[in-house]
Structures are given as structure tokens and as C-alpha cells.
A and B are shown apart, each in its own frame.
Chain A
């Protein structure tokens, strides 16, 4: 659905963090099997305050403060999920997924297949991505390409409060392990969120802005960057279509391909490292499926292939900005 349509039908605005919290609260009210486990989730409500108030409503038996044990809590969630619960694991920073990687990649992602479909792992790993908080190299990475690479995992990357609520509710109800990435720079982003119950299915991309001249295919925070760039391109006579991937697994190939067939140009934008990243997968797909509709090579923009530095001057260079997107889009449209 388009952002405009949402605004008309929804009187209420929430921040991204509030939308996440509301999704969790609604799901925990709906289904007693849902529980949260993670570091500083109960009293503290996480360092980003995303979970504030949930422990008060649901108790510390369902909003469980854990030791600093990422592998342990992820593994415990796998076992709980296999035996009838629907755990939501909070991994404070996406960088800490590395500590839980065996449990995510070798256990959660494999068990349904290895058991010939007899066992299921309905769990969600909620975590963050994104740079520009001056947090340096161990708190700034966007590692969603890692998990998108693994068969058996689903991966969601909401870009608006509306999508965050709808996608998280779908993630919790999914019978598969889902890794759910929230950009920590977007927690205060406001947007329309309907009060009532709604879910957004996985594998359905969203055209966030209609355009005719170039498709900017983006994920997570880069959707906001793409929308900002599109506003600057419009006065130059370039109407950019912004397509939000929303879930990298499953990937809505049809919407992406249809957009590129319409515009004839594609720029793929993602905050993960550019090398071997999500952008490469999507660019390859577009070339495979829409080659004869393309008027220019598909371009990719991602984080620089360096550890994210601390100094603001350096850090800001590592992540795609609206300026870079505008420049790249102009080049692609022959307007340099």
C-alpha cells in the first residue's frame, strides 16, 4: 500500500519503536505462547526503550531478562519453539548475531528440513542494523545479507512504523525462524499506524513512491534515503519509483521486475556492505529477468567495505546518503 493511502485512512501516528512495541503487546495478548527473551528487556525495556512497559503488562515470566548470552538465549528459544512456544529473542545489536550464529544457522534454519518436516521452529530474532550512531565497528553493522544467505530463515527489514507493526505480527505468527531487523536510526521515525489489527504478508514488496524514470529498489533505512533522494530528483524532471523490498526472504521478485520493466533503469540501495551483499542479489535478478527492458546498467549502492569508523567525519562517508543516490540516479538517467 502507498504511504499516501495510509495517511488518509489512519488518524494516528506512532514512532517506529511504538509500532514495534504495539505489535509485540498485541501478539502477547492474543497468544499466550508468545514470550520475549533478551538482555535488559524487562525493566530497562532495551537500551532503545522499544520494549518499555511490556514487563509491567505481561510480567517478567514472559518478558525475560537474560544473562549476556546471545548463543544461549537463541538456543533456548530454538528449543522452546520446537516444543510449542513462540519466542521472540531480542539481540540488542545486529553485530551480536555473530555470537548466536551456530544457533541461527545450524540449528534454527536446519531443523525443519533435517527432520523431514516433522519439527518446526516458530521463533523471531529481533535485532538492529545501521550505522551513524557513532558507535564504531562492533555496534554499527548491517548483517542481514548473512542471514538472507541461509535457506530456512526468513528475513524482514521494515522501513516505516506501519510496516514494522504489520511485518512483526506476521513474523511472530510464522512457523519458521524469522530474523527481523530494525534500523536503530529509525526508532523515532513517525508515521501512520492503524489502531486495529492488521498484518503484512512476507514476500510482498511495497512501492513507496510511484515514478516513471528510474526504480530505486531499497531496504530498511535506505528506503527513507531513497524517498528523500526522489524528492530532490523530481524538480530535475526525474521521477523515481521507490520500491521497498520489505522482506529479503522471501523476495517479491515480481514487483521488483515489474517496476524495472516500467522505468527501464534500476538503482539498488542497501545499508549492508556492498561486497557480496543484498544489492548484488537483487541486481543480478533484475539483469536476468528484465535485461531487454534496461536502458542502462543496474547500479548498486551499499555501505563501504570497511569496518564502520567512529569519527563522525569518517562514519558518514561509509553509508549511502540522499546526495549520493541523487548523483547516481542522475548519471543513470543521463543527466550528469
Chain B
């Protein structure tokens, strides 16, 4: 994507460390976006098996939150999990390899898009059951507390998971036992093919409040706001003050999955255009970087070129990689 200079927006304070940090946010978000554009191309051209649920539009949440975590902190993710995995440190090569069902993929080709896990980066796995990972994240927080490891667990989920009872069972226990877990709800407005207002009674924020879990709502398109809020909530959890709930208001640029192209019956093209043009988290950050002179257009273009090269390298790696040996089918049923 090309960068035009936009209206100046001044950052409150700046310094070399912050410059680098914001540029890294930018690079990370762009990596997720371009990764997924490639995934969409691979799927549309029939080169990728199964299906994929694209995260485009929501990058500020994954990057803002994961940048507030240590490498050994835990995350759990969702069926729309590419962004979380990449933001927590997964490599493009092994992500693409997994999506193509190849042996060097993160799960040796046994998990695919919806199940990428990477113990080395604290990623306890994407999960294809909506809300299914609330227990895993809360359990990881319990073990962090029991062992005194100082780790924090972040549970990413969409607003669709608000319909699942497991989440409330877990929030209740996390609050009772002051577990270091942050529940990050990404409200992208749609439960698969249904507007969330049709499925979600009352106020979302009232639900964690009922369990005495503090809730903070944040503009999910503003990576710096997401980051600052999550930093506060993560450190609070790490200090033993218990769980928190972060409500990130965001938008899914594509359909429920890559094959969901005729979506006029549940949302309008105008709405999509509005978000893509005015509320794209990457464009918003670019404008901020340019406006506050933390970067110029040339630097952003250079970053984009680098990311594109890395994506291309990842795809090449994955296509060249071997499929798993068929005998692998019976391995890993039991440890």
C-alpha cells in the first residue's frame, strides 16, 4: 500500500525508543495484513486447502496487546488467529507451511489455519471452537500463579464467544482466585454472518463487571491506545491484582472466511468501504507517524518492500517444503 501524507497529528511525547516501537507496530501490522492478502490469493487460486478466516482490519488489537507481553507470557487465540500468532512471534515460513499442510509447519501439517500453536512463543493455540480457549488461558494463568512464574495469559476471543457459557465460568473463577489473565474481546460487529446486536443482550461491559472483573473499552483501530491499555492491564495482572477484560471495538474487512464473498445480505458494501477508508488501523498509524514526523513516506515504503520480500520468502519456503510422510497420520495421537 502506498503512503500519502495526511493531516498532521502530533504525538504527545516522542523519543528514539518510542519511534522504534511505533515503527515496529507498523511493521507488525503490515506483516499481518500482507500475510493475509497472500493467504486470500492462495485460497482464491485453489492453492491452499481448507479455508481461512482473515483477521484484516483487526491488526491493531493483536499487535497492541502482544507488544505488551513478554515472550514467555501466554496467549490463546481463535479461528481468526493468524494475527495473534504472528504478533506473538511466529515465523512467516512456518505459518505458510502450516496453512499449506506441509511438514515444517507449526503443527507438522496437522493443525492448519485454525489450530496454530507455538510453545516457544507462548502461543497455546488457535482454537476452532468459539470461546473454546477461555479455559486454557485461565488454566495457564492458574499455573502461572501456582508456580509463581510471573507470567500472564491473554485470552483473545471475538464477540461471538460472549454467547458461550464457558467464558463466564472461567471469568468467575479468575476473579475469585485473582488469576493473571486478560480477556481481550474483539468486537468486529459480526458473529459469523449475524450482527452482534441480534445475539448479544444488554451491555457487553456489564458482563465482566458482574464478576468484579474490571473492563476497559478501547478503539481497536488505534494500536497505540490498545497497547497502552493492555500494558496497564497486563502489568496489573502480573502484579497479582487479578483478571481484566478489554473490549476492543474493531471491524473485520473480509467475510467470515475466505469463501464468504457474497455478504450483502448481512452487511453493506458502503459500511465496508467506510471502515476500510476511514478506520484502517494501518493507515491510521501511518498518518500518525507521518504527521508527527516519526517517519517519512520513503521509510514506510521501505518497510513495506521489506515485508513483501519476507512474505514472498515465506511462501516460497512453504511451496518448496515437503508434505508430511503419510505414516505421520498415526503419530502424536498420544504423547
Task: Give chain A's interface residues, CB within 8 Å of chain B.
Answer: 35, 61, 66-67, 69, 71-85, 87, 102-103, 106-107, 111-122, 151-152, 154, 175-176
CB within 8 A of B166: which of A75, A83, A87, A115? A75
B266 contacts the other chain (CB 8 A): no
Q: Evaluate contact between A114 and B169: CB separation under 8 angstroms.
A: no
Complex CA–CA separation, A66 to B118 (angstroms): 30
Q: Mark B residues whose CB is within 8 Å of A.
A: 74, 76, 105-111, 115, 117-119, 124-125, 127, 129, 132-144, 146-147, 153, 165-166, 169-170, 172-173, 176, 331-335
Q: List 22 A-B contacts (CB under 8 A).
A: A69-B172, A69-B173, A71-B135, A76-B138, A78-B136, A79-B76, A79-B136, A79-B137, A79-B140, A79-B153, A83-B140, A87-B139, A106-B132, A107-B127, A107-B136, A112-B333, A112-B334, A115-B107, A115-B332, A117-B331, A117-B332, A119-B117
Q: Does B331 lie within 8 Å of A119, measured CB to CB? A: no
Q: In whole angstroms, what is the CA distance A114 to B118 when docked?
A: 11
Say yes or no: B140 contacts A72, CB within 8 Å.
no
Q: How far is the CB of A147 from chain B (nearest CB, A)?
A: 14
Among residues of A, the one whose C-beta sits closest to the C-beta of B181 is A79
**B108 contacts A117, C-beta separation under 8 Å:** yes
Q: Which residues does chain B contribute within 8 Å of A122, judged by CB atoms?
A: 335
Q: Please, how many angstroms separate the alpha-carbon atoms of A175 and B146 in the complex?
A: 20
Q: Most chain-B Cβ atoms within 10 A of its Cβ — which of A61, A80, A112, A116? A: A116
Which residue on A lies nearest to B142, using beta carbons? A80
Q: A67 with B169: in contact, given A79-B143, A82-B124, A115-B107 (CB under 8 Å)?
A: yes
- In the assembled complex, the CB of B204 is this many whole angstroms from the nearest CB of chain A, namely 20
C-alpha gap A121/B74 in the complex (Å): 16
Complex Cα gap A121–B169 (Å): 21
- Assess the A83–B143 pair: CB atoms within 8 A: yes
Chain B contacts of A117 at CB under 8 A?
108, 331-332, 335
Contact (Cβ within 8 A) B125 A66: no
A43 to B154 CA separation, bound complex (whole angstroms): 32
- Interchain CB contact under 8 A, A118 and B117: yes
Q: A71-B165, A102-B129, A102-B132 in contact; A76/B111 too (CB < 8 A)?
A: no
Bound form: Cα–Cα A118–B143 in Å:
19
Instruction: Decide yes or no: A119 and B334 within 8 Å by CB, A79-B136, A80-B142, A102-B166 being known contacts.
Output: no
A82 / chain B contacts, CB cutoff of 8 Å:
124, 136, 139-140
Minimum CB–CB distance for B328 against chain A, Å: 9
Question: Which one of A103, A115, A118 has the greatest number of beta carbons of chain B within 10 Å?
Answer: A115
Q: A61-B146, A72-B170, A75-B132 are in contact. List 5 more A-B contacts (CB 8 A).
A: A74-B135, A82-B136, A106-B129, A117-B108, A118-B118
For residue A71, which residues in chain B have a CB less than 8 angstroms away from its CB?
135, 165-166, 169
Chain B residues, Cβ within 8 Å of A175: 335
Q: A119–B119 contact, CB under 8 A? A: yes
- Please state if B117 and A83 are interface contacts (CB–CB under 8 Å): no
Q: A80-B143, A151-B333 are in contact. Are A116 and B107 (CB under 8 A)?
A: yes
| Separation of A79 and B334 alpha carbons in the complex (Å) | 17
Q: What residues of chain A lie closer than 8 Å to B110, measured between beta carbons? A: 113-116
- With a cutoff of 8 Å between Cβ atoms, the chain B residues found around residue A81 in the complex are 139
Contact A114 B143 (CB under 8 A): no
Specify which chain A residues have a CB less than 8 angstroms from the CB of B166 in the assembled complex: 71-72, 75, 102-103
- Complex Cα distance, B176 from A66, in Å, reads 10
Q: Are A107 and B124 in contact (CB under 8 A)?
A: no
CB neighbours (8 Å) of A154 from chain B are 334
CA distance A113 to B332 in the complex (A): 5
Q: Is the CB of A80 within 8 A of B125?
A: no
A63 to chain B minimum Cβ distance, whole angstroms, is 12
Expressed in whole angstroms, the Cα–Cα distance for A320 and B132 within the complex equals: 38
Whether B135 contacts A114 by the Cβ 8 Å rule is no
The one of B125, B146, B147 that contacts A115, using a Cβ cutoff of 8 Å: B125
A61: chain B residues within 8 A (beta carbon)? 146
Contact A75 B334 (CB under 8 A): no
Report Cα–Cα, A270/B135, bound state, in Å. Answer: 33
Q: How far is the CA of A103 from the CA of B135 in the complex (A)?
A: 8
Compute how far the CA of A124 lies from the CA of B270 in the bound complex, rounded to whole angstroms: 52
Q: Which residues of chain B have C-beta atoms less than 8 A from A152's C-beta? A: 333-334
CA distance A201 to B74 in the complex (A): 34
Interface centre among B76, B115, B333, B334 (most CB of A within 10 A): B334
A35 contacts B111, C-beta separation under 8 Å? no
A203 shortest CB reach to chain B, Å: 11
Alpha-carbon gap, A106 to B128, bound state (A): 9
Q: Is the CB of B332 within 8 A of A80?
A: no
